[in-house]
Amino acid sequence: MAHSIGGIPITLRLRIEAGIGNTLTDVGYADIDTVIPVTVEPMAGAGAKVVVDTSALTSMVSGVVAAFESVIPVVGTHNHKPVQHRDGKPPWCPTCGLTADGNEPVSHLG
């Protein structure tokens, strides 16, 4: 029979980055505030075993990561600003390398 002896409060921040063009862009973070339960299980004979149960935290992390995975393709947090370069290509953004409509710039020169 396990007996609760309290918990370990924890704040876990997940920072999510995504590759856009050749740069990594920070697309957000999520904080998980929870308490990891700690129990004591008496052992045969003398003594007891302290058990820290991280299974709930593990499933929370999986859930948050899955949520970000579905959001990342439509999120852009940088200031997307295509400018003209001397490369014969249409204006493209120095941050992500893409044009105003989100495509790879293609040179109109040979």
Q: Does 96 bind Zn ion (CB under 5 A)?
A: yes
CA distance from start to end of the chain: 77
In this complex, which beta carbon is closest to Zn ion, that of residue 25 or of residue 39? 25
Dihedral angle computed from the Cα positions of residues 103, 104, 105 and 106, in that order, rounded to the nearest 10 degrees: -110
**By rule CB under 5 A, what count of residues binds Zn ion?**
4
Which of 80, 89, 90, 99 is in the footprint of Zn ion by CB under 5 A? 80
Q: Does 16 bind Zn ion (CB under 5 A)?
A: no
Q: Does 89 bind Zn ion (CB under 5 A)?
A: no
Paired residues of 14 in beta bridges? 30
Query: How many secondary structure helices (H) and strands (E) does the chain include?
Result: 1, 3
| Dist CA 2 CA 6 (whole Å) | 12
In this complex, which beta carbon is closest to Zn ion, that of residue 22 or of residue 55? 22
Which of 34, 39, 95, 99 is in the footprint of Zn ion by CB under 5 A? 95
Name which of 16, 13, 53, 58 is nearest 32 in CA terms. Answer: 13
Binding mask 23-62 for Zn ion (x = CB under 5 A): ----------------------------------------
Residues that bind Zn ion (CB under 5 A): 80, 93, 95-96
